[in-house]
Amino acid sequence: ITYALVEDTNLPAGLELNPGTGEISGTPTATGDGNQPHKFKVQASNNVGTSQVKELSILVMKAPEITTKELHSDVVGSVYISNKIEFTGTTADAVFSIDTSDGKADLPEGLTIDAQTGIISGTVNTAGDYTFNMKLATRVGETSKEFTISFKNAEDASTYIGSVILNPAEGEDRT
């Protein structure tokens, strides 16, 4: 049996059909919109001269992308809970972690990451700016994004509620 694409149909860019086995292989070089499958027709022919055409489809999905722009800062010693991490792509099998490869920094002591939601929580006891790379892996691919969280000592931070400053810095008015 030999296999061939029917005229006027093609595979997604980067994929090819093996005429001897019918196997489709390769790495797609372009993605669809993630919702619409790429349709094509394959003809299988035998050495007796009979053939059959079958319409097939492949869904080529985009690799995930973390779309959260930034994580909020906080005061040393307070309970920190980040916003939910937003991203594109499938959510069914998303796994978040902190990428410490190649000597990259981990989360500051006292913080942990929820592998299913990407939410970072805990208590940091040392002031500073902490930069780390959050990694997101799905069945489609993986990505990472750099974030910085700043933790200030209470006496150095101003906390605003409405227009009232609860902890004014030196020289700031309370209203």
pLDDT tens digits, one per residue of 70-111: 999 999 999 999 988 888 876 678 899 999 987 888 899 999
Q: Give the separation between CA 132 and CA 148, rounded to whole angstroms.
A: 6
* pLDDT average, residue stretch 10-30: 87
Answer whether residue 163 shows pLDDT above 50: no
Task: Output the pLDDT for position 33.
Answer: 59
First to last CA, the chain: 83
The percentage of the chain sitting over the pLDDT mark of 90, rounded to a whole number, equals 42
Per residue in 35-71, pLDDT (tens digit) is 678 888 999 999 888 889 999 888 887 778 899 999 9
Task: Output the pLDDT for position 8.
Answer: 77
Task: Output the pLDDT for position 27.
Answer: 83
More confident residue, 143 or 30: 143
pTM: 0.64
Nearest-CA neighbor of 107 among 115, 117, 116, 98? 98
Answer whether residue 164 shows pLDDT above 60: no
Answer whether residue 10 shows pLDDT above 90: no
Task: Output the pLDDT for position 160.
Answer: 39
Answer whether residue 115 shows pLDDT above 60: yes
When the pLDDT of each residue in the chain is averaged and rounded to a whole number, the result is 83
